Amino acid sequence: MTEEEIEEQETTGSDRERLYESLDMPLLFGKYDMKEVEVTDPGLEKYMDLLPILLPHSGGTHANKRFKKEEVSIIERLINHMMRTQDFTGKKLKSYNVVRDALDIIYERTEKNPVQVLVDAIENSAPREETTQITYGGISVPKAVDVSPCRRISLALSKISQGAVKASYKNKKDISTCLAEELIMASRKDRNSFGVSKKEETERMAASAR
């Protein structure tokens, strides 16, 4: 069975993983093995697609399909979130090159699988609680609510991307270096990371609104 035949079948995430294990899958960008990446947060494991892929570009196959982004490679989701920042809106190839170069920088500095560093950064930047507004008689009151796993990943990727772009302003370092440093700091739970600091701020506000 080929990779195209697997994609055409209506299978669940676990079924797709078993089918992919039977194939000789390529390395990410021809360099990094995604099979050795582990997710330590059980709540996020189901919603983080780490199936081996050569080029993280699905061509919008899952666009406008509810919950289908769970089947999009986590690398492509990072690229898509980079496109949602002010400087990269609509620039898919530019975002693609930035993420690819950032992974190379991470490998050079840490000698670890950069996909594992990305996964650790997401786990450490994903808030477990946030606040919402509830209206009582015309008065809005903040209320703490749990965050769904899928939204946790989206929030983490969004903050990591925003932090990288923010760090590149008035800085001699290029955006790829800033993204690599943001991911490395987040993977180590460094509070200098924009993603980690925003997670702690969000959870602190939610704790005060319980």
What tens digit of pLDDT does each residue of 9-55 get? 555 555 655 555 555 678 888 889 888 899 999 999 899 988 888 88
Round to whole Å and give the CA distance between 73 and 112: 19
DSSP state of 130: E
Burial of 30 (0-12, 13-18, 19+ CB in 10 A): exposed
Round to whole Å and give the CA distance between 100 and 142: 40
Separation of first and last alpha carbons in the chain:
52
**Which stretches does DSSP call E strand in the chain?**
129-136, 139-146
Closest to 119 measured CA to CA, from 33, 56, 40 = 40
| Topology classification of domain 3-208 | Ribosomal Protein S7 (1.10.455)
Chain segment 45-98, per-residue pLDDT in tens: 899 988 888 888 888 888 788 878 888 899 999 999 999 888 888 888 999 999
Burial of 5 (0-12, 13-18, 19+ CB in 10 A): exposed
**Would you list the domain boundaries of the chain?**
3-208
